[in-house]
Amino acid sequence: MDNVSIETVDRETIPSLREITAEESQALMAQGAVCPEMVFNSYDEMAASVASMTELGILAWKEEGIIFKFKGEAPENDVTNRLQSKVQEAEERLKKYVEEHSVRTFLAKNIGCKKCGSQLAREFLKDDTCPLCGNDLRSQSTIEAEQKLRELRDKAVHDFEQQKVLDRVQFGEIHLAIYQ
């Protein structure tokens, strides 16, 4: 199973693996096809597993066929697309804010650390923390504003992920494929 990954398997890799309808499945099972209980998360995951099992000799060819189940992807919809746009906007807003308020954008040549009192040359700072004590060199209001933007981004990501799950439950019914 190590040498076949989901990324390397496409639908042409296993020509004897094809999608079928529920009616075809019932007819094939009546003729002796078997259907394991496992359900793969996607067609690609199923195809990779079938390729690996065939290569390792675990999956023997069966004249009547072996029916595999996999979850279908939900179609794109306006709600999901809108939430995905919100995630992208929130990430861009956060990135822009962090870049604009970095100590590397300060005009002063030296930056003072409020915790340890060190004067640090701005040009040698790798990030926004004091290399001596680890204190954040930015103002408290900048830190709080960044935290608020991170929370908004995290909420947008959470809402988007939740909607994807709902879409999958609503639209991503179980699909079938036959290996003959």
Give the domain range for residue 26. Answer: 6-75+171-179
Q: Give backbone dihedrals phi and psi of 147, rounded to 5 degrees, phi first.
A: -60, -40
Question: pLDDT tens digits for 97-154?
Answer: 999 999 988 889 999 999 999 999 988 899 999 999 999 999 999 999 999 999 999 9
Amino acid 143: pLDDT: 95
Same domain flag for 13 and 66: yes
For residue 18, the model assigns a pLDDT of 62
pLDDT the model gives residue 35: 63
Tens of pLDDT, residue by residue over 66-80, are: 666 666 666 677 888
pLDDT greater at residue 130 or residue 3: 130
Residue 23 has pLDDT above 50, yes or no: yes
pLDDT cut 70: percent of the chain above it: 55
Does residue 37 sit within a domain? yes
Mean pLDDT calculated for residue range 46-65: 64
Q: Are residues 71 and 10 in the same domain?
A: yes
Number of domains the chain is built from: 2
Token representation of residue 119: 């004067």
* Shared-domain flag, residues 60 and 111: no
Q: Are residues 107 and 49 in the same domain?
A: no
pLDDT at 79: 87
Tell me whether residue 60 is in a domain: yes
Please state the pTM of the whole predicted model: 0.55
Q: Note the pLDDT of residue 7.
A: 38
